[in-house]
Chain A
Amino acid sequence: MSTSKIKKFGLACLAVGAVIGIIFWGGFNWSMELTNNEEFCTSCHEMKDNVYQEYKTTIHYSNRSGVRATCPDCHVPKEWIHKVIRKIQASNELYHKVMGTIDTREKFEAHRLELAKHVWKTMKETDSRECRNCHKYDYMDYPSQGRRAIQQHTKGFDEGKTCIDCHKGIAHELPDMYEEDPSAVLLKH
């Protein structure tokens, strides 16, 4: 083979590689986005009948300005690397879907505290990263907040608290909070 032929072959390989690369990479991202929307999340009855119904009554679903935060906005990181890690972790959810771990309301309620704790822990570790995709401390206009919000926000941020420390149960029903704060739960016998 002459050098010009090798060059031509190399170029052809590059071109084909690029096209295949685009198809695969595009396809990968496309399928990842396909699993990253409300329709997909609520295609399982575990999500649709429990957490989704609860979320529909909250401010993140319907509010005065008509901005909606859907499931992945809060539960899937925006940054690519964190997103891929979360998607890999989601394979565990597939396992529990097959095993039917939470396939009835009763089973779901029995696991609610454990499930909530997972989310609280992650949120705490990431300094509530998914909240901060929209709500940034620095962007807050304190005087336009309520009296209590000004007090609690300035105090909380000074103490190094993160959103989830106070804002639990804002989009879904809370589990039994006895472990978290026995003073705010109906008396246990």
Chain B
Amino acid sequence: MKMQAMLKMVLLGAVLVAATQALASHVQSLRGDTDLTDEATAPEVQYYNKDGQPIDRNYVQQPPLIPHKIDGYRITIKHNKCLSCHSWKNYKSKNATKISQTHFESRDGFVLANVSARRYFCTQCHVPQTNAKPLVENEFKPVEVLRH
């Protein structure tokens, strides 16, 4: 009985190892097929799009995309570079879009006097754009009400 159980375990183990190996040969890591000991080819450098006009939204709740470069912009608790143009105080003089009122709400729905901490880190939702080609084919179309 004991012998049989052990044999089963060993067989199961062998099957598992074989299965993982079979899977592993098909799964590609982000660095491609290159061995760990070899140097992988660096992916092509992507450049941020040049400063442009605001980009249309693709769906209703989409956080607006950043239509300009943000190289070197820092967002720390001491200063937020984005808000030096997009805050309600600065947007007019900087000719920028102002952040929406929703950014002043605490998670309990209270309206605060300044940007809420949960909305302070802009790049968690708003991202700049590069000229990168989509990795997979994509036929996404915006909803009818947002099409121009």
Contacts and interface: CB of A to CB of B under 8 A. Distances in A.
B32 interface: no
Interface string A74-116: 0000000000000000000000000000000000000000000
Contacts of B114: 182-183, 185, 187-188
B129 to A, nearest CB: 14
A185 B51 contact: no
B88 A183 contact: yes
A152 B88 CA distance: 18
Given A146-B50, A183-B114, A174 B84 contact: no
Contacts of A119: none
B26 to A, nearest CB: 40
A174 B78 contact: yes
Interface of A: 58-59, 146-149, 151-152, 169-170, 173-177, 181-188
Contacts of B117: 186-187
A186 B80 contact: yes
Interface class of chain B by DSSP: loop
Interface stretch (B9-17, B89-97, B135-143): B89-97
A interface: dominant SS: loop
A142 B83 CA distance: 25
Nearest to A112: B78
Contacts of A146: 50-51, 68-69
A187 B69 contact: no
Interface in B81-140: 81, 83-84, 87-90, 94-95, 112-117, 120
A184 B76 CA distance: 10
B52 A147 contact: yes
B90 A184 contact: yes
B79 interface: yes
Contacts of A188: 114
B77 A151 contact: no
Given A146-B69, A183-B88, A177 B113 contact: no
Contacts of B50: 146-147
A98 B130 CA distance: 50
Contacts of A59: 71-72
A177 B116 contact: no
A181 B115 CA distance: 13
B31 interface: no
Given A58-B72, A146-B69, A147-B68, A187 B113 contact: yes
